[in-house]
Structure 1
């Protein structure tokens, strides 16, 4: 339900923003009914959708005291400027919040944040959460069960993933002893280290062959908060070319934070 609500929010945001502005302007019309409306109709540009965001421009005609002006006209002009000056920052904030929301939620993916264990990642829209003993989080495709992502968290006295060993050595050990059953033939394709916000992560790609299928997988591991974290995602080898970009996105999104 939350995923559906997020999707509906993104799709309807331009209409929501337009309605918000109409209500907001109506509020100011109540306060300054005649002069403000006439000036807005003549000199304002209402919000419009643009690629990459929204724009909002309001121009106010400066009304001052002149040889042809009157004190009442001067007061009206100042009220218009105050009203418009109040609307513009609010629209700017809505616009910036929308951009931030869109940036944090990659299209076609949903976010996961575990505030208890201190990690976050994204997974493809449509995958369902399931409960599997020994796994902290698991999301999978109900039609293609080999397409899934899982996270395990175990305590450790190590402070850094590099304390365990180099990427290739650690990856080989994990694949053979943890990430694939002993009956499956495994092959490490590559392993590498990368840093995010000063924290080291090992990411590796491997294949596990069973009698009736071959799984192509990606894993990323790191240490923080006194815990050893492993995120693994993959797909059936026959669907690897179609899914690999999504799976790399999942792995690259995994980050730890202090709790």
Structure 2
């Protein structure tokens, strides 16, 4: 755990911006989660909800306001053309209502909801945001590490609490860890956790996944305003469950 504490200054520099959704934005140019209460891992939680997410994503977009559809239609055409083409194996996992993102240089991939716009935020490797709801976003950050396994930093609860209190939310916000879990994909350990961060004028309900590979500490965080959590949670769990690290 001491190793993670020593990494906090670098992590803080690259991740702290997560809870300032408007700062630094510009267009890009071109489970034991909640499942902690159910006693199952996030991987199982996501699989159990996948069919619900598939059906809800379609109905959600049909029910969305016309301006969201018009804006999304205008931005996703050019966006798709600049995102790296997804390998066939990963493309087969793409769900209805989602687009895939694969970074072949840094070795990670994930799904994000259709209609979210790619933006550039200093210190973050990749960010997609909803064009209407700025708290609905997914970001990926990475820093160099000499560790080989996320478990070298401590338990899921220890890592989650350190990141939430010192990195993922400002000290002025009241935070609460809802649950944390470990799951294994192709022999690689991932920690996933769910938390809320309360600011004076909003509460963000968020999910994070952390993993180590390619000499890097990867953090993916997604979330939404608490008032929209019930509408968005299935999609956000899909985003978290889709996060994968691969060797480069």
How far residue 103 of structure 1 moved from its aligned partner, in angstroms, is 2.9
Q: In the aligned structure 2, how far is the partner of 1:132 from the partner of 1:169? A: 28
Instruction: Give the structure 1 partner of residue 122 of structure 2.
Output: 133
* Contact 1:109–1:122 under 8 Å retained in 2: yes
Partner of 2:156: 167
Quick one: which of 216, 219, 223 aligns to 2:208?
Answer: 219
- Residues 211-234 of structure 1: CA distance to partner in whole angstroms, max 9, x if unpaired? 000000000000000000000000
Could you tell me which of 213, 223, 235 is aligned with 1:234? 223
Q: CA deviation at 1:105?
A: 2.2
Partner SS, residue 104 of structure 1: coil
Structure 1 alignment gaps of length 5 or more:
6-96
Aligned-pair RMSD on alpha carbons? Answer: 1.6
The alpha carbon displacement at 1:142 in A equals 1.5
Contact 1:113/1:120 (<8 A) preserved: yes
Structure ranking higher on relative contact order (CA contacts 8 Å, 6+ apart): 2
Instruction: Give 1:122's aligned residue.
Output: 111
Aligned runs of 1:41-190 on 2, under 5 Å?
103-190=92-179
Distance in 1, matches of 2:105 and 2:199, equals 35
Give the CA deviation at 1:104: 3.0
Q: Which runs of 4+ in 1 moved over 2 A?
A: 1-5, 100-105
TM-score by length of 1: 0.62
Q: How many residue pairs get matched?
A: 166
Q: Distance in 1 between matches of 2:152 and 2:238?
A: 27
Where structure 2 has 5 or more consecutive residues not aligned to the other structure, the ranges are: 1-76, 82-87
Residues 236, 226 of structure 1: alpha-carbon distance in 2 compared, 3 angstrom cutoff = same
Q: Deviations over 1:28-83 (max 9, x none)?
A: xxxxxxxxxxxxxxxxxxxxxxxxxxxxxxxxxxxxxxxxxxxxxxxxxxxxxxxx
- Are 1:3 and 1:110, in contact at CA under 8 Å, matched by a contact in 2? no
Aligned equivalents of 1:215, 1:150: Cα separation in 2: 14
Write the distance in 2 (CA, Å) between the matches of 1:195 and 1:213. 34
Distance 1:204 1:119 in 2: 19
Structure 2 Cα separation of the partners of residues 102 and 162 of structure 1: 29
Q: Paired residue for 1:10?
A: none
With over 3 angstroms needed to count, the CA separation of the structure-2 counterparts of 1:3 and 1:159, relative to structure 1, is same
Tell whether 2:208 aligns with 1:243: no
